[in-house]
Amino acid sequence: DAKTTQPNSMESNEEEPVHLPCNHSTISGTDYIHWYRQLPSQGPEYVIHGLTSNVNNRMASLAIAEDRKSSTLILHRATLRDAAVYYCTLVSGGFKTIFGAGTRLFVKA
C-alpha cells in the first residue's frame, strides 16, 4: 500500500495562509490524492482531492508536484476553526484508504 509522510505538527497565525506538505513517493499512476481533516471529537471530513492538476474549492487549494511525489494543501486564510489534524491519503479503486499519522495544525489568534 502506498504511504504518505506528513510533518507531525504545524503552527499558523490566524488570517495567514498555511501550506501543509505531504510526500507520497510511491504513488502509482492511478492513485488519487485526497485530503481529510479531523476536528476535535468528530469524524474526519473531506477537504479536497486531485490526480495531477492543481485543484481549488471553497475550503482549500491542492497543489500537486509535476512528478506527483508530493502535494501541498493550502488554506488561504487560517481561522481558529481550521485547527485540526489534516490527513493526506492515497486512494485507488476499491476502497482501502490508508491514513498516515496526519499533521496537527495549531492556529494562533
Partner 1 sequence: KAGVTQTPRYLIKTRGQQVTLSCSPISGHRSVSWYQQTPGQGLQFLFEYFSETQRNKGNFPGRFSGRQFSNSRSEMNVSTLELGDSALYLCASSLSGQRSWETQYFGPGTRLLVL
Backbone angles phi, psi at 21, to 5 degrees: -90, 155
> Which residues sit at the interface with partner 1, rule CB under 8 A?
30-32, 34, 36, 42-46, 49, 51, 87, 91-102
Q: Which is nearer to partner 1, 14 or 31 (CB)?
A: 31
- Calpha distance 93→21 (Å, rounded): 24
φ, ψ dihedrals at 81, nearest 5°:
-70, -10
Question: Considering the complex, what minimum distance in angstroms separates the CB of residue 36 from partner 1?
Answer: 8
The span from the CA of 19 to the CA of 61, in Å, is 10
Q: CB of 44: closest distance to partner 1 in angstroms?
A: 5
Closer residue to partner 1, CB minimum distance, 41 or 109: 41
CB 86 to partner 1: min, Å: 12
CB 16 within 8 A of CB 105: no
